[in-house]
Structure 1
Amino acid sequence: MSRALALITGASSGIGVAYARQLADDHDFVLVARRADRLAEVADELRKAGAAVEVLPADLGTREGLDAVTERLFIGDVRLLISNAGVGGYAPLAEVDPAEIGSLITLNAGASIQLTRAALPGMLDAGEGGTITVASLLAFTAGIADPRMPPRTLYTAAKAATVAFTRTLALELADTGVRAQVVCPGVVATEFNGGYARDLPFAMTPEGVAQASLAGLKLGETVCVPGLEDQEAALDALLSAETALMGGNAPIPAGRYRQS
């Protein structure tokens, strides 16, 4: 049986490791994360399961790290790109260190776009492959005022951009044999954001997120919300709302503006 090559970012723990474990029967890997020691442990586990593993320590929040992973993808042999690396950075915008804005946006949105661009030519030449980007349900919360949610202006903006990017990319890739998916989990029991969700009874396991995502990819889902039963109806409603908003493409201002 031939083994496809998967490149996974954020592969040293949590959702990234869960993807790798579930793919290990028929995939080899390029594993990317900042922590070389943790990557080595994961690589040893996967090699014992029969996978060939390349370890690529890199910080995708830096230009050097992003360039290193981009160059690896340009080789063209990766058939599944899983962009899982990210960071919370939860804070009111006025309290975010201006020097950190660039790295926060890069980690949570820009890096996955650049890596996808690097991976696509090889996949398109082969006529097969896929990209999975881990976003968040917070991508859909821009208009929701709920005190239980963290201050999230930058994070929500980045993840909303990721959702829009993937949905549009999927239209571009129709009939090419290459698929694009964005995964939008809710609270997940991982080390993310200091591991605050590990003991929450409503948190999904990282294994559950990876399982839903990989099953959804086989089903042809562009957007995967792992815990949502009636996902199709929700996405249809979203598309209807977007279509209605496009009614604003008109030659004159709406009546409420002309009356003032």
Structure 2
Amino acid sequence: MAANETSAGETPATETAETQTPGTAVVTGASSGIGAEYAARLAGRGWDLVLVARRAERLTELAARLRADTGAAVETLTADLALTADLAEVADRVAGDDVDLLVNNAGINGYGPFTEVDGTLLGKVLDVNVTAPTLLARAAVPGMLARGRGALVNVASLLAFAGDLPPGPLPYRAVYAGTKGYLVTFTRTLAAELAGTPLRVQVVCPGLTATEFHLGRGDTPVAGEARVHDEGGMPAADVVTASLTALDTGEVVCVPGLHDAEALTRWRAAEHSLRENSGRSLAPRYEG
């Protein structure tokens, strides 16, 4: 276990999201679902917000509601994180001295059989799900370290662990699952790199969630009023409750629906065994 990969129930010595004096939180993908729930919950905790998404009208409505309900200062940035110029604009804001929390929630799925999904869409999945959170974290973390406070939350997916499970009922997901696997590894490795600093780093891996995520593949925003796909799933509010609770207790990997917390310990032990048993000599099964 990495130095700051604490188990459920362990409380680190650093400030928690509850005790830290709130500053400004940047939430990407904030126009609906999990992102909108993070925005509402953080505003209720006293955080000011910068909300980022492609749908300007929804951002404007959400910002107005949060200002009225909580008194939070709320900025909006209409941006498509697959576009270089838009990503650069958001990165500039994320690097601001007031930003103490970055929630990399924006993501698109590009679901479909690998040989049939348009390559341009798959490139966009990589841009939004991998490049954007990486570069936004890079923009945020140095300033947080210099100020001695801050937190990073990356929203991945339980599909990061789906591996070779076949489609049905799971979606065709080769690229999407790969991007979420990247987020899990990136976050855990960064957390280990930052062990001993005041920064808190987390990856949250929700399973099926009751949002509109499955109503589109990500090439265009879902139009109309916010709604929930027919598959249902865990309420977005519960996902955010788990994430913020885990952030307070120092869990680097948060799986909101995982009842057996020791499963994460066994997973890390299996990884350790894999690394420790891979030596410099060729394994006998590959000889000859």
The TM-score bracket by the shorter chain reads: over 0.9
Deviation at 1:212, TM superposition (A): 0.8
The reply to whether residue 145 of structure 1 matches residue 145 of structure 2 is: no
Deviation at 1:146, TM superposition (A): 5.2
Q: Which structure: greater helix fraction?
A: 1
- Count of residues in Structure 1 that have an aligned counterpart in Structure 2: 257
Partner residue in 2 for 1:122? 143
Distance 1:241 1:3, change over 3 A: closer
Q: Quick one: which of 235, 239, 243 aligns to 1:209?
A: 239
Q: Quick one: which of 40, 49, 53 aligns to 1:21?
A: 40
SS state of the match for residue 91, structure 2?
A: helix
- Across the aligned residues of Structure 1 and Structure 2, the Cα RMSD in angstroms comes to 1.7
Partner residue in 2 for 1:11? 30
The reply to whether residue 254 of structure 1 matches residue 254 of structure 2 is: no
Instruction: Give the Cα separation in 1 of the matches to 2:64 and 2:120.
Output: 37
Task: Check conservation: 1:5, 1:79, Cα contact below 8 A.
Answer: yes
Task: Check conservation: 1:12, 1:42, Cα contact below 8 A.
Answer: yes
Partner residue in 2 for 1:78? 99
Deviations 1:31-89 (A, max 9, x none): 10001110000100111120001111100011111111011112232101001111111
Partner residue in 2 for 1:43? 63
**Structure 1 stretches of 4+ moved >6 Å:** none
Partner residue in 2 for 1:245? 274
Deviation at 1:256, TM superposition (A): 1.1
TM-score, length-scaled by structure 1? 0.94
Deviation at 1:248, TM superposition (A): 4.9
Deviation at 1:96, TM superposition (A): 2.0
SS state of the match for residue 193, structure 1?
A: helix
TM-score, length-scaled by structure 2? 0.85
> Superposition pairs for residues 173-188 of structure 1, below 5 Å?
173-188=194-209
Task: Check conservation: 1:87, 1:193, Cα contact below 8 A.
Answer: no
> Superposition pairs for residues 54-203 of structure 1, below 5 Å?
54-145=75-166, 147-194=168-215, 198-200=229-231, 203=233
Instruction: Give the Cα separation in 2 of the matches to 1:8 and 1:171.
Output: 23
Instruction: Give the Cα separation in 1 of the matches to 2:177 and 2:54.
Output: 23
More moved, 118-127 vs 249-258: 249-258
SS state of the match for residue 143, structure 2?
A: helix
More moved, 237-246 vs 44-53: 237-246
Deviations 1:71-114 (A, max 9, x none): 11122321010011111111121112122222111111221111
More moved, 154-163 vs 62-71: 62-71
Letter of the 1:221 counterpart: E
Instruction: Give the Cα separation in 2 of the matches to 1:137 and 1:53.
Output: 31
- Identity, % of aligned positions: 48
Letter of the 2:26 counterpart: L
Deviations 1:147-182 (A, max 9, x none): 211010000100000000000111111121101101
Letter of the 1:40 counterpart: T
Letter of the 1:245 counterpart: L
Task: Check conservation: 1:188, 1:198, Cα contact below 8 A.
Answer: no
Deviations 1:160-208 (A, max 9, x none): 000000001111111211011011000001111207964446x101111
SS state of the match for residue 24, structure 1?
A: helix
Letter of the 1:149 counterpart: L
